[in-house]
Structure 1
Amino acid sequence: MKCQWCEQDGAIETNTTVFWELPDGTQSLEIKETPAIHCGNCQMEYLTDEQTEEIEDHLLLINTKQLTGTVHFEELMKVPRLLKRNYFK
C-alpha cells in the first residue's frame, strides 16, 4: 500500500489509539484499537479520510453524553444512532 504522506510503498493496515474532540467541544475521547495505516518508511501513523469521516459522522449521530473518556473503536461504532445518517452534508 502507498503511504499518503511519503508516497512510498510499504504502508500497512493496523490499529492504533486516537484522540478525538466531540463535535460539541465538551470533552475529548481516547478511541482505542482504531483502524489506521502505518508506514514503515516515514513511521507516520494515520487514519484514511474515509475512516475520519466515519468517526466524525458517528459522533454527530449518537448521544455523546453517555461516552466516557476512553472507548474502543468497535464499542463506539455499536452505540445506536439517533438518525440513520448525517443529513447535514
Structure 2
Amino acid sequence: MQCQWCEEESARISQSTVYWELPDGTRAIEITETPTITCDICGMLYQEESLIDELEDHLMLINTKTLPKCMTYQALMAEPKLLKRNYFRF
C-alpha cells in the first residue's frame, strides 16, 4: 500500500487511538481501535478520507450527548442513528 505522505510502498493498515471533536463542539471523545494507515518509512499515522467522512457523517446522525469519553471505533459505529442520512452534507 502506498503512503499518501511519502509515497513509499511501505504503508499498512493498522489500528490506533484518535481524538474527535463532536459536531456541536462541546467536547472531544477518544476513539480506540480506529482503522489507520501506518507508514514505517515516514512514521505517519492517518485515516483515509473515506473513513473520516463516514465517521463525521455518523456523528451527525447519532445522539452524541450519551457518548462516553472513550469508546472503540466499532462501538461508535454501532450507535443507533436518529436519521437515515446526513442531510447537511452537500
In 2: Cα distance, 1:75 partner to 1:61 partner: 15
- Secondary structure, in 3 states, of the residue corresponding to 1:54? helix
Aligned-CA RMSD value: 0.6
Q: Structure 1 segments of 4 or more deviating over 3 A?
A: none
Partner residue, 1:14:
14
Asked if 1:35 is matched to 2:47, the reply is no
In 2: Cα distance, 1:2 partner to 1:43 partner: 13
**Superposition TM-score, scaled by structure 1 size:** 0.97
In 2: Cα distance, 1:38 partner to 1:57 partner: 24
- List alignment gaps of at least 5 residues for structure 1: none
Asked if 1:5 is matched to 2:5, the reply is yes
- How many aligned positions are there? 89
The 5-angstrom pairing of residues 1-89 of structure 1 reads 1-89=1-89
User: Residue 37 of structure 1: CA displacement?
Assistant: 0.3
Percent same amino acid among aligned pairs? Answer: 53
User: Residue 85 of structure 1: CA displacement?
Assistant: 1.1
How big is each residue's C-alpha offset from its partner over 1:19-42, in whole Å with a ceiling of 9 and x where there is no partner? 000000011000000001000110
- List alignment gaps of at least 5 residues for structure 2: none
